[in-house]
C-alpha cells in the first residue's frame, strides 16, 4: 500500500498499528513509535519530528532520505535496515546506544545529537558531519572516517591505528580523543 504526502500528528503507533507498505513524502509529528515493529516498511523522503522512536525494530526497513529532528532514538538497531539507497539526517536527536554497524552513511549529518555509546563499527562515515555531538563511549572500530568533520564534536575516542581518518577534521582540544588509546597524560 502506498501512502503519499500525509501528515501524522500525535499518534501512538503502540495502539494504532502502522499499515505495512510504502510511505512517501510523509511527515510524522509528535508520534510515539517506542518499541514498535516497523520491519519491512519503506520510508522515502519522510520526516520524523519530535517523535519517540526508541527501540523501534527496523528489520529490512528501507529509509531513503529520512530526516529525524528533535526525536528520541534510544537503542535503535539501524544496522538491521535495508542498506539500499539508505540516506539519513539527524538533528537534535537522542541516539544513545544506537547501532550503525557496517552501514554506508557517507555524508550523513548528525547535528546537536547525543550519540553516547553508539556503535559505528565497520561503518563507512566518509564525509560525515558530527556537529556539536556528544560521542562519549561511542565505538569506532575499523570505521571509515575519511573527510569526516569532528571539529565541534566532544568526548570521542578514536584509535587512528584501526580506523581510517585521512583528511578528517578535528579541533583542539577535541583532537586529544585520537590519543586516548595510548593511555598518556596531556596537559594544557
Q: How confident is the model at residue 175 (pLDDT cuts 50, 70, 90)?
A: confident
How far is it, in rounded angstroms, from Cα 77 to Cα 54? 10
With a cut of 80, say whether residue 154 has pLDDT above it. Answer: yes
Average the pLDDT over 71-80 and give the result: 98
- Supply the pLDDT for residue 10: 97
Chain-centre distance of CA 105, in angstroms? 9
First and final CA of the chain: distance in angstroms? 60
Q: Which of 172, 171, 145, 169 is nearest to 159 (CA)?
A: 145
Burial class (CB in 10 A: 0-12, 13-18, 19+), 33: buried
- Supply the pLDDT for residue 188: 65
* Torsion of the alpha carbons at 33, 34, 38 and 39, rounded to the nearest 10: 170
* Region of residue 15 (left: phi > 0; alpha: psi -120 to 50; beta: else): alpha
What 3-state DSSP class applies to 177? helix
Across the chain, mean pLDDT equals 94
What are the structural domains, with CATH classification, of the chain? Answer: 1-99 (2.160.20.80), 124-188 (no CATH)
Average the pLDDT over 121-126 and give the result: 98
Q: Which one has a higher pLDDT value, 15 or 36?
A: 36
Q: How confident is the model at residue 17 (pLDDT cuts 50, 70, 90)?
A: confident
User: Grid coordinates in use for 69?
Assistant: 529532528
Q: How confident is the model at residue 3 (pLDDT cuts 50, 70, 90)?
A: very high
User: Grid coordinates in use for 8?
Assistant: 501524522
Each residue of 113-123: b (16+ CB within 10 Å) or e? bbbbbbbbbbb
Amino acid at each position: 500500500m502506498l501512502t503519499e504526502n500525509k501528515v501524522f500528528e500525535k499518534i501512538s503507533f503502540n495502539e494504532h498499528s502502522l499499515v505495512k507498505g510504502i510511505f512517501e513524502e510523509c511527515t510524522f509529528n509528535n508520534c510515539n513509535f517506542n518499541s514498535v515493529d516497523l520491519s519491512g516498511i519503506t520510508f522515502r523522503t519522510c520526516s520524523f519530528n519530535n517523535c519517540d522512536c526508541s527501540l523501534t525494530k527496523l528489520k529490512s526497513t528501507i529509509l531513503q532520505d529520512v530526516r529525524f529532528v528533535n526525536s528520541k532514538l534510544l537503542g535503535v538497531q539501524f544496522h538491521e535496515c535495508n542498506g539500499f539507497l539508505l540516506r539519513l539526517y539527524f538533528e537534535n536527536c537522542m541516539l544513545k546506544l544506537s547501532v550503525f554497524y557496517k552501514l554506508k552513511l557517507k555524508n550523513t549529518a548528525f547535528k546537536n545529537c547525543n550519540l553516547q555509546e553508539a556503535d559505528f563499527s565497520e561503518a563507512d562515515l566518509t564525509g560525515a558531519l558530527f556537529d556539536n555531538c556528544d560521542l562519549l563511549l561511542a565505538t569506532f572500530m575499523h570505521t571509515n572516517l575519511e573527510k569526516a568533520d569532528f571539529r565541534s564534536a566532544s568526548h570521542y575516542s578514536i584509535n587512528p591505528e584501526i580506523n581510517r581518518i585521512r583528511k578528517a577534521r578535528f579541533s583542539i582540544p577535541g583532537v586529544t580523543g585520537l590519543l586516548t588509546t595510548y593511555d598518556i597524560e596531556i596537559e594544557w
